[in-house]
Amino acid sequence: MGRPQVVPGSSEPAARFAPLAGIRVLDLTVALAGPYATLLLGALGAEVIKVEAPGGSDVARFNPPFSCSRGVHFAGPLHPDDISITMLARHRNKRRITLDLKTDEGVAVFKELTARSDVVVENLRSGAADRLGVGYEALRAVNPRLIYCSLTAFGPDSAHGDTGMDVTVQALSGLMFITGEPGEPPMRVGIPVGDLVAPLFATIAMLSALRQRDTTGQGQHLEASMLDGLTSLVAMEHLDVLTEFGLPIRTGNSLSRMGPFGCYRCADGYISIAAPQDTWCASLFGAMGMPELQTDPRFLTHGDRVINGRQLDSLIESWTSTLPAAEVSDRLRRLSVPHGVVRDPREALEDPATGRSGAVHSLIDARSGRQIGKTGGLPVTFSAGQLADQPAHVTGEDTAAVLAEVLRLPAAEIEQLRERRVI
């Protein structure tokens, strides 16, 4: 066997090299959107330092269920060692310190950390960072190379206010309006997609800004909002054009303009089928044992199938409903018809493929070493690198170590900060 590949500019073998090794991130985020962005940076190998007020200031710490020495429960944080499973999932790959930014000493320590860091990420209420003295202008003064990223619900100075939740953003973006069955009320998407899309865009922006800094030597202020992120995705569907031509934009489980394209009942569940191309549709008719449909005037062309979509969906479901989903899938797979059995989340999370890609990880309570379940990861692989996956620490666990390592503060000074409740 040959020697391990070495990444250019590093003495470390590729198998141990993290893409963002050497990048330090200060994390002032709460809830989901901000912590998800820093989770991604941590998975890429950045040193992420999560900063909270003494005692904890992330609102997600009250999210049930909770893990403690008794196991997992929904009763509320009634036990001294209760910790929200939400916190265990969102704060993996991070060091966690406490620092009171409502004190002059706390802000001074934060600025010293900023001077030795590359990125600050915050999703506080509009203007809160500036009022605390840790806004972009204040921190740029101590580190002109700083990349400062602000995540918001609606963007700066929005008429919608400065407080938003995923469900309100889905409503404002138009996504909720187009989701659901025709003639029925709008429906929320089943996962907090607004909270998850904005940090993806923010992470792209931060990586791009770091690359630009390599050239210019200067940092910058980035802003990403949940509303902008979701609205940009809704705009990709050209729904205004569909409306102009009288096509429905709330289509439920089917999409007539791409038909056959939808979700169909089976004898023991459901299956999704997408066969808009003529060749796929012909193969579908063959799998159904109804090749004569290829010459049926109602379904000859894609346009015909759009016009007669309801009749076509009815014929497909009259076939799928008589068979187990696995058998329908087997017949479609043999003929290369795009399809997917509708799985419940537990089945999806146990798929070996998602584990290999890094999309799903075991969720570990580091205090007990107990595996609680599954959680999301960064679903990409690097041929010359390795992503991080470290269990979440508890609030403030790394305060003394970070102040000693990064700021070189002596133990006595750290203890004085603790006594004055700065940390």
Block mean pLDDT (10 aa), the chain, length 423: 37 62 97 97 97 93 87 78 91 97 98 98 94 98 98 87 90 94 92 96 98 97 96 85 74 85 97 96 97 96 91 96 98 97 93 86 88 91 86 95 97 97 97
- Cβ partners under 8 Å of residue 354, min gap 6: 348, 360, 379
Peptide bond just before 182 cis, omega within 30 deg: no
The CA–CA distances, whole Å, from 416 to 63, 66, 421 equal 33, 33, 9
Nearest Cα to Cα of residue 81 among 90, 71, 91, 89: 71
CB atoms inside a 10 Å sphere around CB 50: 30
Q: How far apart are CA 70 and CA 368, in angstroms?
A: 11
Nearest Cα to Cα of residue 334 among 284, 290, 292, 291: 284
Number of H helices, E strands in the chain: 17, 14
Q: What is the pLDDT of residues 273-282, one digit of tens each?
A: 999 999 999 9
CATH number of 14-233+357-419: 3.40.50.10540
Supply φ then ψ for residue 83, to 5 degrees: -140, 135
Q: How far is CA 4 from the centre of its chain?
A: 33
pLDDT value of residue 12: 46
Place of tokens 């073998």: 13
Q: What is the pLDDT of residues 12-52, one digit of tens each?
A: 444 457 899 999 999 999 999 999 999 999 999 999 999 99
Fold: same for 14-233+357-419 and 270-341: no
Nearest Cα to Cα of residue 266 among 190, 316, 322, 214: 322
Q: How far apart are CA 88 and CA 193, in angstroms?
A: 20
User: In sequence order, what DSSP letters do the residues of 26-87 get, joined into one string?
Assistant: EEE--TTHHHHHHHHHHHTT-EEEEEE-TT---GGGGPSPEEETTEEESS-S-STT-EEHHH
Question: Is residue 265 within a helix (H) or strand (E), and if so which, with residue range?
Answer: strand 261-265
pLDDT value of residue 9: 42
CATH of 270-341, one of 3.40.50.2300, 3.30.70.380, 3.30.1540.10, 3.40.720.10: 3.30.1540.10
pLDDT value of residue 74: 87
Which residue of the set 100, 166, 195, 398 is catalytic? 195
CB atoms inside a 10 Å sphere around CB 267: 12
pTM: 0.90
Pairing of strands 71-73, 66-68: antiparallel
Q: What is the pLDDT of residues 403-423, one digit of tens each?
A: 999 999 999 999 999 999 999
- Cβ partners under 8 Å of residue 409, min gap 6: 403, 417
The ranges assigned to domains in the chain are 14-233+357-419, 270-341
Nearest Cα to Cα of residue 384 among 3, 123, 17: 17
Tokens of residue 223, six digits: 């802003």
Burial of 246 (0-12, 13-18, 19+ CB in 10 A): exposed
C-alpha radius of gyration, the chain, whole number: 26
Q: Among this protein's residues, is 27 annotated catalytic?
A: no
Q: How far apart are CA 119 and CA 252, in angstroms?
A: 42
